[in-house]
Structure 1
Amino acid sequence: MKLTLQFKKPSITLVLMLIIGIWNSYSQSQFKYQNTSLSNEERVADLISQMTLKEKVSQMRYDAPAITRLGIPTYNWWNECLHGVARAGEATVFPQAIGMGATWNPDLMFKVGSAISDEARAKHHSFANSSRRGIYQGLTFWSPNINIFRDPRWGRGQETYGEDPFLTSKMAVNFIKALQGDDPKYLKVIATAKHFAVHSGPEKSRHEDNYHTSNRDLRQTYLPAFEAAVNDAKVHSVMCAYNRYNDEACCGSNLLLTDILRNEWKFDGYVVSDCWAINDFWEPNKHELVDTPEEAAALAVDRGTDLNCGSVFDPNLTEAVLKDIIKEDKIDLALSRLFMARFKLGMFDGDENVKWAKIPYSVVCSPEHYQLSEKAAREAMVLLKNENNMLPLNKNIKSIAVIGPNADFEQVLLGNYHGTPHNKITPLKAITKKLPNATVYYSQGSEIAEGWPLLTAIPSANLKNGEFSGLNGEYYQNQNFEGKPSFSRNDVQVDFSWLLKKPIEEMKSDDFSVRWTGELIPEETGKYRIGLKARTGGKVYFNDSLRVDFTNEHEPKTGYFDAELKKGKAYTVKIEYTNHHTDSQVHLLWAKTDKNLLEPAIEVAKKAEVIVLCLGLSPEIEGEEMPVVLEGFDKGDRSEITLPKSQIKLMKEIQALGKPTILVLMNGSALAINWAGENIPAILEAWYPGEFGGNAIADVLFGDYNPAGRLPVTFYKSVDDLPDFKSYDMENRTYKFFKGKPLFPFGHGLSYTNFTYRNFAVPSGVKPGEQIPVSVEVTNAGALNGDEVVQLYVSLDESNEKTPIRSLVGFKRIQLKAGETKIVKFNISSEKYAYIKENGEAEIRKGMITVSIGGKQPSFSGIADASSTQVITKKIKITN
């Protein structure tokens, strides 16, 4: 008998469900590390156990490649968000960090950090969803810079929150917390506290310098902000510095990375090197600690550097293990820290599991973020001087002259390490909008510095491509101009910011190149500077001669050359631009350098009722390790702290006209504006104020906002008041130790209203180790609403040359309506009134301490004394 079995034909839906179920089961169980029910420690250990040595080493460089067989996608660790998501397309640009420091408002700092991390998450997922995982597209951000701005000559001081460790700590902790988020399982993004440690210039010798300090200065000045970042903010990444400290390279320092960071502070995140810092270990005329790249890589990892911004680790670590210079378990330890970070960011889990992945792209450049940027810019404004209440100005004036190299220069809004803003509201634009019924005159007046003209895009009228105005552009879908161009077209100008949308449609990467050719024809005979500003790399051939050539830039760079040109003569020009970044930018620029800028400024000033002088510095001449060599400037730093001579001459000529004149400063570091302090009646410090900076300036000038910013740095009178730049001894540095008379002290800032203090309550004595409760009543005694920054300082009466004159131990920015009174309270912890011994240990000593509270430091006179606020001091006895 034959047995026949009959089966029912399954439905297509059922088959598909079975296939999907089998595939999901397979994909989820393919690797143990993909099981989300396991702990991150188990997942990391499983993943690393399956890697070869070569694969492990490949993941310790910032541009880590994919390991396809293990399901690991490519990842680039390099991203920046100092004051907004940087170099990743259009983003909200907030005031530069030094301006944020001037707000003295940690709550605002938290809101700014939250907005930045929202934009960061939205951008990352947008990139990842289109398979873009390159530089500036990840979730690991190398911000904030919490070094102490100990010397105004340092070009990168603009990236910090100022000269005080306590102020820096409070601002940094809130920024880091906002970046990393509050989710117990997943980090929002990873913040990086940099540059660890004892690092603040000079820029030109940072790759070779060896700094020494006392343990007292190390503990009292250079470490507190980092300790707060680790212990209070739980920062997940730390970047080590270029220089040596006490004979050890910071990225190979047992003291810094092992003894202090890991053992003392219990830091459990990862350490990343500053970019190409490991090369300095062996390259000639640098640190020269070892002889070979293999030894350098091994030294860095052995001492605690886990990730290399650079290319030293790969393949040199592999060789170092094979040569038994370092054990493989050291590689495993570093790698476990790096993959722990990626797991905590949710990079190996589905987006549906990570709440931060649900942030919509609409947050980027949203109205709310724009409002926050403008608010931050307003709060950063510091009114330095206001003689006879010249400010605020009357909006009914009929004419005003806005003069100066920073009056309508968009770059000066941004500082360094910035994103690409949609708005670029300069003082000229904002004042013009503010006064629709007035005549607004403008003149540049001077160069930013002698020999540094302001370059602008070369107009179409001066470019020729056959019968067309402009240049012929050939666009290639690769970086090397290979093959035939995807298309050719006439571009009326070379002045492009492509941001997220590339010039070649349907591109799957950020790699492309463009070649422009044609002629340049000037309308005037004279001396010119011709420049190319580009994101990653560019060349300019002029009359068939290569005149500009730079490659692999991460911050937009301007290469330039000088030439004498004749009116109507045609000069051949060829530009080659290569791109591999998200934020694609290229600009062909020029300026006529023998043009008289002063006379037109004087002429427009004569026509106006009021003059606003917009002077200061520029991120083009102060910043990170620049090739700039000008009088008063030195490779990104400054050798003088005065305004450049060209601007001083302009200021004196304008002031001599006898018209009401206001000076607006836009800069990233303190300026010795002594002559202005004596002769210009009103001075406003605006910093690099972000994309809405012009609005903030105009609002303060015309009384729509009452300024309340405070200086986060000391304004000295001369470079002669400063110690040697390379000395990291704190003697005679910052408000804590400077024994001279500053032009404007740390904490200085005026208001359009007046604040009074009374009922300052403190105990007459406390026992060592006890907290000191403090309270005071603050009243807005003027007619305008305004903010006051209440500042609390402690001085140890038993002092010597190493004891601070006073130390900031508390501050709070409060809002007070006209006539309103608020009670402000603080608790001074014992560590804030401890004496720091030479070995760095804290000791509570019996004796008297002085406590002062008010809207400023005590003991100043003249313009250095803020007349719109008060200060009260009392003595407290520390007893048994």
Structure 2
Amino acid sequence: MAAGGLFSAPAQADINRALLNDKPAFIADVMRQMTLDEKIGQLRLISIGADMPKPQLIKEIAAGRIGGSFNTVTPAENRPLQDAAVRQSRMKIPLFFAYDVVHGHRTVFPISLAQASSWDMDAIALSARTSAVEAAADGIDMTFAPMVDITHDPRWGRTSEGFGEDPYLVSQIARVSVEALQGDRGPDGKAPIGANGVMAAVKHFALYGAVEGGRDYNVVNMNPMRMYDDYLPPYRAAIDAGAGAVMVALNSINGVPASSNTWLLQDLLRKDWGFKGLTVSDHGAIFELIKHGVASNESEAAELAIKAGIDMSMADQIYLKELPELVSSGKVPMAAIDNAVREILGAKYDMGLFHDPYLRIGDGSHDPADINAENRLHRDAARDVARKSMVLLENRAQTLPLKKTGTIALVGPLADAHIDMMGSWSAAGVARQSITLKQGLQDALAGKGKLLTARGANITEDKRIVDYLNFLNWDTPEVVQDKRKPEAMIAEAVKIAKRSDVIVAAVGEARGMSHESSSRTSLDLPANQLALLKALKKTGKPLVLVLMNGRPLALNWERENADAILETWYSGTEGGHAIADVLFGDVNPSGKLPITFPRSVGQIPAYYNHQRVGRPFTEGKPGNYTSQYFEEPNGPLYPFGYGLSYTTFALSDVALSKNTLPRDGEIEASITVKNTGKRDGATVVQLYIQDVAASVVRPVKELKDFRKVMLKAGEEQVVRFTIDESKLKFHNAQLQYVAESGDFNVEIGLDSKTVKTQKFTLQ
């Protein structure tokens, strides 16, 4: 493209700031003065370094050819870009700066799947609010979060980024996350986002978690009823909560890529849901329409994307190269360009950037001397959320909590792994600032007990896997192998185990194993880690497993042989301290699984709210000619909603205020939960509903409400749930959202499997 050709521009614009408090009028005034070239420039979201070097980027911005930037996280680095936009470009339209702030910014909180395990909306809000404050302080205006893709296949590497398998739970988290990220936007929710907030771009729209075989970027084929009831609700919840932007998914949906899917982006998102914000492609997704096979060249790809409703193109050049000719030829109407530009300018308005382009990035007078300074972290908040996110899976003979006296053997490849503690998409977190399990135990035992350590095993001995994981991280290799033979490392671990009172084994996955583009064919621990555990078991010492992973694992041997298992996921900057708090009983674990743990890959998909079948398997009865696998026990290893405590809880029978629900009325379902143990503790009381007979096949049960309650030892509390018609609705075969008359079972329990039941009738 010849310099000075396409982007030659008229005289300087005259923006009427008197219209600044009238959003539609102000944006119309800006657009009235823009050339086609400048409008197309706004459609581009470009990364420094990855897409073009900074000097070139500044020139492009000054020429009006870029609308936003991402992946740079220091104000001093980004400020020259904003200077180029508002001081050098003709239109003076500010840039916005975006980043993947998924579970923390500089302070890394537990991964999203871990936060969902807390079932604690206050904790999740604390994480999102703190993340927003830290990101805004670094000049970030938008985060590509929350990630609310429902997944039923834990082989998918991005399981770690999401909040699990249940549409109700994930919808609640989506709403809370958006509100916390964006902050208070006034009584009508329309005020610009403040200086301590960032715009939420909910992702990945849509159905990305349902990719075939759990393989990243794969196809999705799904019937509409399942789509509307199981997969779409979390995106809708985020939109209804005011999310300013949507990142579009990389997968196809029933044969049409999301990036060219007019039904998805126009009919559903904008017309049916009323979304008024910005849509952003995923990285390079418009070019990938050619690889999907729906476009034969870049011109066709650009035409499909802009007509479908992709406002902003991330990281490719196609809009810049192809849209001018597409408009001049009439293949793309000017209205399609204007619609996209209007949403981009509207997002910048809602970010507060037209009022103050330096709202978050500042003028440089308050830039920190050390961008990674310790005082910029929020360690107390991270530790609090991490403690609430852990799930106690096993605890035979009250092995936990541990005593802070005696000798503990700490072994395993993840015992002292700073970078793995942070998990995938750890934003601007610095590995050396994370507290490992080794450090956490040392701090807890200081002046009391003794800690012996040995590596015991590498993450894996498969060189091909190590090379792949290190290739994913193009800066510094993350998986560093101990060069000793596996037998020598195991012998060292066994030696210290025999000198100890209890063994704590930190095992699981390197963080790169639960990441984008890291789908797995196996959910087992790597063979060398399992060999270590089997050798430790033979010592006869109590064996406590501390799991670090970003997906459910198949833990059959581990379940049968470990004395205790604590699922810690990847618990963030303060993970080591938080795990120690739980291991030693300073905190009583209260987490519950937000996703089912299958016994093996062969059970996948394994999720609690599956549809009913005509020949269901019934536990305890012969399995012949029922829906089952015959090689191993049926049902999950650990069900959705499961999690133990250091105390015990008992539930009364369910009481209903009445047995008939009128259409305009409600029923109260109540149950008494009692702490029957000797320690104070929290648990999650879960309400499920089953539609006994409907016009279409319905799930065996669906989560409809929950309460996290804290009870002192011996204390009991009545937990009350309100049931009305809205909790009974589903999409029928005509995609009508209805509640059908008939009988319903109310199930209340402390997990999805063990419940107390009552029945009522909807009139």
Give per-residue Cα distances to partners, 1:426-447, cap 9 Å, x unaligned: 1111112211233311111112
Q: Which amino acid is 1:620 matched to?
A: G
Do structure 1's residue 305 and structure 2's residue 310 form an aligned pair?
yes
Residue 818 of structure 1: aligned partner: 713
Deviation at 1:84, TM superposition (A): 1.0
User: What is the CA-CA distance between 1:800 and the residue it aligns to?
Assistant: 9.5
Are 1:761 and 2:655 an aligned pair?
A: yes
Structure 1 contact 390–681 (Cα < 8 Å) conserved: yes
**Structure 1: which 5+ residue stretches go unaligned?**
1-28, 86-90, 125-137, 456-528, 534-549, 561-586, 626-635, 860-870
Any unmatched runs of 5+ in structure 2?
1-11, 47-59, 65-87, 617-626, 629-633
Give how far 1:76 is off.
Answer: 5.3
Q: Normalized per residue, which structure has more helix?
A: 2
Distance apart, 1:270 and its partner CA: 0.9
Shift of 1:729: 9.9
Structure 1 residue 203: Cα displacement: 9.1
Pair 532,808 (structure 1): closer, same or farther in 2 beyond 3 Å: closer
Distance 1:699 1:784 in 2: 15
Describe the SS at the equivalent of 2:687.
Answer: strand
Aligned pairs (5 A) from 1:738-817 = 740-758=634-652, 760-762=654-656, 763-768=658-663, 770-798=665-693, 802-817=697-712
- Match of residue 246 from structure 2: 238
Give, as a single letter, the amino acid of the residue that structure 2 aligns with 1:852.
E
Inter-CA distance 852–59: structure 2 relative to 1 (3 Å threshold): same
Aligned positions of 1:469-868 closer than 5 A: 556-557=473-474, 591-592=482-483, 594=485, 596-625=488-517, 636-723=518-605, 740-758=634-652, 760-762=654-656, 763-768=658-663, 770-798=665-693, 802-859=697-754
> How far apart are 1:299 and its partner, in Å?
1.1
Cα distance, 1:801–1:606 mapped onto 2, change above 3 Å: farther
Structure 1 residues 223 and 532: alpha-carbon distance in aligned structure 2, compared to 1, 3 A threshold = closer
- Residue aligning to 1:114: 129
Q: Would you say 1:292 and 2:297 are equivalent positions?
A: yes
Describe the shift of the 1:600–1:802 C-alpha distance in structure 2 as closer, same or farther (beyond 3 A). farther
Amino acid of the structure 2 residue aligned with 1:873: T
**CA shift digits 1:437-495 (9 cap, x unpaired):** 3331111111212225999xxxxxxxxxxxxxxxxxxxxxxxxxxxxxxxxxxxxxxxx
CA distance in 2, matches of 1:642, 1:156: 17
Question: Are residues 731 and 412 of structure 1, via their aligned partners in 2, closer, same or farther at CA, if it must alter by over 3 Å?
Answer: farther
- Matched residue of 2:760: which SS? strand
Identify which of 153, 156, 166 aligns with 1:154: 156
3-state DSSP class of the match of 2:756?
Answer: strand
1:183-206 CA distance string (max 9 Å, x none): 332113110111111112469965
Matched ranges for 1:96-245 at <5 A: 96-124=111-139, 138-184=140-186, 185-187=191-193, 188-200=197-209, 201=211, 206-207=216-217, 209-231=218-240, 233-245=241-253
Q: What's the CA shift for 1:378?
A: 0.2
Amino acid at match of 1:212: N
Distance 1:800 1:675 in 2: 43
SS of 2:757's equivalent?
strand
Partner amino acid, structure 2, of 1:438: G
Q: Is contact 1:214–1:729 with CA below 8 Å preserved after alignment? A: no
Distance 2:294 2:465 in 1: 42
Higher alpha-carbon Rg: 1
Q: What is the match of residue 42 of structure 2?
A: 59
Q: In the alignment, what sits opposite 2:393?
A: 384
Question: Is the 1:92–1:365 contact (alpha carbons within 8 Å) kept by the matching residues of 2?
Answer: no
Counterpart position of 1:256: 264
Q: Report the Cα offset of residue 559 of structure 1.
A: 7.3
What is the SS of the residue equivalent to 1:708? coil
* Deviation at residue 835 of structure 1 after TM alignment: 4.8
Seen in structure 2, the aligned counterparts of structure 1 residues 776 and 588 have a Cα distance that, compared at 3 Å, is: closer
Per-residue deviation, residues 322-365 of structure 1 (Å, max 9, x unmatched)? 23220122111100100111112121223799999999889996
Per-residue CA deviations over 1:358-397 (Å, capped at 9, x if unaligned) read 9988999658831111011000010001111111112222
Q: 2:96–2:348: 8 Å Cα contact kept in structure 1?
A: no
Which residue in the other structure is 1:877 paired with? Answer: 761
Give the counterpart letter for 1:148 in structure 2: I
Using the size of structure 2 for normalisation, the TM-score is 0.83
Secondary structure of the residue aligned to 1:557 is coil
1:249 shift after superposition? 1.2
Q: CA deviation at 1:176?
A: 0.5
1:323-362 equivalences under 5 Å are: 323-350=329-356
Counterparts of 2:258 and 2:132, CA distance in 1: 29
Number of residues paired by the alignment?
681
Aligned to 1:133: none
Q: What is the match of residue 462 of structure 2?
A: 451
Alpha-carbon separation, structure 1, partners of 2:543 and 2:301: 57
For the Cα contact (< 8 Å) 1:173–1:228, is it kept in 2? yes
Residues 1:690 and 1:724: Cα distance change in structure 2 (over 3 Å): closer
1:320 corresponds in structure 2 to: 326
Q: In the TM superposition, what whole-angstrom CA distance separates every residue of 1:243-301 from its partner, at most 9, and x where no partner exists?
A: 1102211011122111110010000001111111111111xxx2111122122112111
Find 1:411's aligned residue among 419, 422, 432: 419
The question of whether the paired residues in 2 share the 8 Å contact of 1:321 and 1:328 is answered with yes
Identity %: 32
Amino acid at match of 1:442: T
Tell me: CA distance 1:800–1:430, structure 2 relative to 1, closer, same or farther (3 Å): farther
1:309 maps to a residue whose letter is M
Query: Is the CA contact 2:96–2:141 (under 8 Å) kept in the aligned structure 1?
Result: no
Q: Secondary structure at the match of 2:709?
A: strand
Q: State whether structure 2 residue 92 is matched by structure 1 residue 72.
A: yes
CA deviations over 1:400-425 (Å, ceiling 9, x no partner): 11011111111221111113146311
Distance 2:364 2:707 in 1: 35
Q: Decide whether aligned partners of structure 1 residues 262 and 811 sit closer, same or farther in structure 2, where only a CA change above 3 A counts.
A: same
| Secondary structure of the corresponding residue to residue 753 of structure 1 | coil
**Is it true that 1:48 corresponds to 2:31 in the alignment?**
yes
Task: Report the CA distance shift for 1:356/1:113 in structure 2 as closer, same or farther (over 3 A).
Answer: farther
Cα deviation for residue 691 of structure 1 reads 1.0
In structure 2, distance between residues paired with 1:230 and 1:836: 19
Q: Does residue 1:434 correspond to 2:328, yes or no?
A: no
Contact kept? 1:618, 1:667, Cα under 8 Å: yes
Match of 2:74 in 1: none
Residues 359, 838 of structure 1: alpha-carbon distance in 2 compared, 3 angstrom cutoff:
farther
Q: Distance in 2 between matches of 1:730 and 1:359?
A: 59
Q: Are the aligned partners of 2:259 and 2:289 in contact in 1 as well (CA < 8 Å)?
A: no
Q: What do you get for the CA RMSD once the two structures are aligned?
A: 3.2
Whole-angstrom distance in 2 between the partners of 1:845 and 1:707? 40
> Is 2:55 the counterpart of 1:35?
no
- Residues 532 and 558, structure 1, Cα contact 8 Å, conserved in 2: no
Q: CA deviation at 1:123?
A: 1.3
Deviation at 1:723, TM superposition (A): 4.8
8 Å Cα contact 1:62/1:77 also seen in 2: no
